[in-house]
Amino acid sequence: MKNDLSLIMERENINALWVMGNASHNPSMAYFTGSAHVSGADLILIRGKEPVIFCNAMEREEAASTGFETIVTAKYGFLKILEESKGNLLEARAKMRKLMFEDIGLTRGRVAVYGKVEIGPVLGTLKYLEKMLPEIEFIGEGDDSILLEARATKDIHEIERIREMGKITTKVVGKTAAYLQSCQVNEDEILLQENGEPLTIGDMHIKINYWLAELGVENPLGCIFAIGRDAGVPHSAGTHEDPVRLGKTIIFDIYPQETGGGYFFDFTRTWCLGYAPEAETAMYEDVKAVYQTIMD
């Protein structure tokens, strides 16, 4: 949880966190900013203090909506800095970051770097910045990072957001099941749309996206709705031209996200419409028996 950050930072000997990029679809930034619509920002959290957001003037109101101190970067006069740097964009960016760091009293210590941004310009800027602020050590953490550890434990507000995503996800699964059950079937055991055309896997992907959008969530990674052979291929999203048939195994794996890149909810089911063939029924019974043995 966020309340644990200072203790974790102290334990890992980290003096500050520096998060770069948009708030949208940038987990490390969104963890602090929530759903605020902020683009191209820098968020710096000095251990034991509240975060500070640096942004351009167009983003100032959205950045301020987070409740954190907001500093508009226009005050640093980037164009003048760029001119002084003889057009060297990376050097100019580093000089402006130096001014930002100095503004909040961050001139020494270990700074962990986060954010979902284009890596090339960041690496180039850091090379200059390390020379300009020699008493700061910039740290790139691995899969056991401070933020991941803090995010592993949720507070009540986060839990409620995840629960709400669960409700929305299962509602869409229910809509999907109800729609399939309502379809007419032709002599080839193919489900038909309202216009009499065969229902395809691609049609179902479109409908699932529509139902998710109706309920105000995003589906940035798509979903898995696959039938027959594709249902047995790990992470096959399904072949859009395949018809939806009775008696064929369907894998439905859905993992929508809060609008703006917040929490996901992942839900998976295996279905057979109409009836389950003998081989699939036997596999189901085997899996069920193993599950019950483990749980008992």
Q: What is the model's pLDDT at position 292?
A: 96
Tell me what the mean pLDDT of segment 220-236 comes to. Answer: 96
Q: List the one residue out of 36, 113, 42, 33 whose CA is nearest residue 78.
A: 42
Evaluate if residue 156 carries a pLDDT over 90: yes
Sequence ranges of the domains in the chain: 2-151, 156-295
- Name the residue with tokens 């998710």: 212
Tell me what the mean pLDDT of segment 26-41 comes to. Answer: 92
State which CATH number among 3.40.50.740, 3.40.350.10, 3.40.50.150, 3.40.50.11540 fits the domain covering 2-151.
Answer: 3.40.350.10
DSSP label of 197: P
In whole numbers, what is the pLDDT of the chain averaged over residues? Answer: 96
Q: What is the model's pLDDT at position 143?
A: 84
- Tell me how far apart the alpha carbons of residues 181 and 175 are, in angstroms, rounded to a whole number: 10
Q: CATH homologous superfamily of domain 156-295?
A: Creatinase/methionine aminopeptidase superfamily (3.90.230.10)
DSSP label of 251: E
Evaluate if residue 35 carries a pLDDT over 90: no
Q: What is the model's pLDDT at position 260?
A: 87
Evaluate if residue 45 carries a pLDDT over 90: yes
Helices (H), 183-244: 201-214
Q: What is the model's pLDDT at position 2?
A: 87
Tell me what the mean pLDDT of segment 266-277 comes to. Answer: 96
Evaluate if residue 56 carries a pLDDT over 90: yes
Q: What is the model's pLDDT at position 217?
A: 97
Buried b / exposed e over 117-127, threshold 16 CB at 10 Å, is beeeebebbbe
Strands (E), 5-88: 16-21, 41-46, 52-55, 69-72
Q: List the one residue out of 42, 33, 52, 67 whose CA is nearest residue 104.
A: 52
Backbone angles phi, psi at 259, to 5 degrees: -60, 130
